[in-house]
Each structure stands twice: as structure tokens, then as C-alpha cells.
Amino acid sequence: NAGVTQTPKFQVLKTGQSMTLQCAQDMNHNSMYWYRQDPGMGLRLIYYSASEGTTDKGEVPNGYNVSRLNKREFSLRLESAAPSQTSVYFCASSDLAGLTDTQYFGPGTRLTVL
Amino acid sequence: QKEVEQNSGPLSVPEGAIASLNCTYSDQGSQSFFWYRQYSGKSPELIMFIYSNGDKEDGRFTAQLNKASQYVSLLIRDSQPSDSATYLCAVNPGGTSYGKLTFGQGTILTVHP
């Protein structure tokens, strides 16, 4: 049982390049999330998917797109990377089962945009 | 803008002491509250959650919630060097934003021997 997995772990891009961050969970959770974390800041929600087939914007969606490929997989795409997108990206999943709903996080992707 | 603010750090306590971490939130409709621990270079992991006013204890950890004051705290008793980490407070707003956690900026805790 791997929990939440993310690929790649590290990535360096040049300004204007595109890439897709992959996330998969094996906990049969309905909901999945993408966050970014910048130094000295907490996590900020980029996009989330409450269930398969649905996606919704979070606090900082500009410059990103997402795809909920199936119940297990949720990808984040940067179409034209900018230095401001240098960050650590975390994927999370949860069952959205009520007040005690807990989000479980993947190991993160450390992205640098030059 | 719904905000979550944590006490500014870093916080340094001696081994065996009580560490007190505080968090205030602006959305009165917030329903549940989470404390996550994040070691340097690692992902956040849940310590505990609370959704009713009062105290909730789990081992050396106690979460306290006061919805009237919009305040939640985490106490760590008998602090150990292994507790040194960043602690993140997260708030679940409920309603149409249910599940969209808002995180505080984190408090860095250092427990020195």
C-alpha cells in the first residue's frame, strides 16, 4: 500500500517550457488535491477534485491546469512555466467523509523554473 | 479572504518542556481543524484533528478549540528533540468550500537537549 505517490521528485525547467506532474493514490479516496508550498508559507491549494470527473479551482489556479484521469490519478500541468512557479508541489487525497476527513500527502515534487 | 494565522516562530523549548502552538482563523463557519507536522524536506503528516469546543488529548499531544474566540492550539507535553519540525494548522471551512483546507504559514519548533 504505497499511499500517495508523485512523479517526478525533482524537476528543473526553463521559462516557457511545459510539464505535467503526476499523482496517484491507492487508498480508494474520492477526493484529490494539488498544493504548492513556498518558503515561509503554508500550503496553498491550486486545484482540487471532489470526485472522479470533477475539478475546481483553489486559491492559486492561474498558470495551471489539471486532469482527473480516473479515481486513482490526478495530474497537474504547467503549460508555460514561469520563475514564480518555482515551488514544492504536494498532491493529497482524502475520503471527504465528514468532519474528520483527513488529507494524506504525497512526498512532493521540487520544481525549479529558471 | 479567509485567513489562518499561526504564532510567529521559531519557537525553541528545552527537552521535557511543554510546547504551545497557537492558531487563529477568520471564518466563523469553519467546522474542523487539523494539526500537521512537517519535517524538513518531507511532506505534512497528520497529528490530530478537532471539531468540538474543548480539549482533545492523544498521547503527549493536546488540541484545544475555542470557536467563540476562533482559536485553536496544540500543546506538546514532554517535548522531545524528535518533535523538532514545522507545525501547520489547517482549517476546513465547511459549506460549499468543504474540503478546501486553508493552512497557516506554519510554526517552526526546535526542541533542544
B24-35 tens-digit pLDDT: 999 888 889 999
Average of per-residue pLDDT across A48-68? 93
Whether A104 has its CB under 8 Å from any CB of chain B: the answer is yes
pLDDT one-digit tens code per residue, B41-50: 999 999 999 9
Per-residue confidence (pLDDT) for residue A100, from 0 to 100: 74
Is A48 within 8 Å of B32 when comparing Cβ atoms?
Answer: no
State the nearest Cα–Cα gap between B103 and chain A, in angstroms.
6
For residue B43, give the nearest of A31, A101, A108 by CB distance. A108
B-chain residues near A31 (CB < 8 A): 99
Residue scoring higher pLDDT (B100 or B21): B21
Query: Hey, what's the torsion of the CAs at B71, B106, B97, A99, to 10 degrees?
Result: -60
pLDDT one-digit tens code per residue, B69-93: 999 999 999 999 999 999 999 998 8
Distance CA A45, CA B107 (A): 19
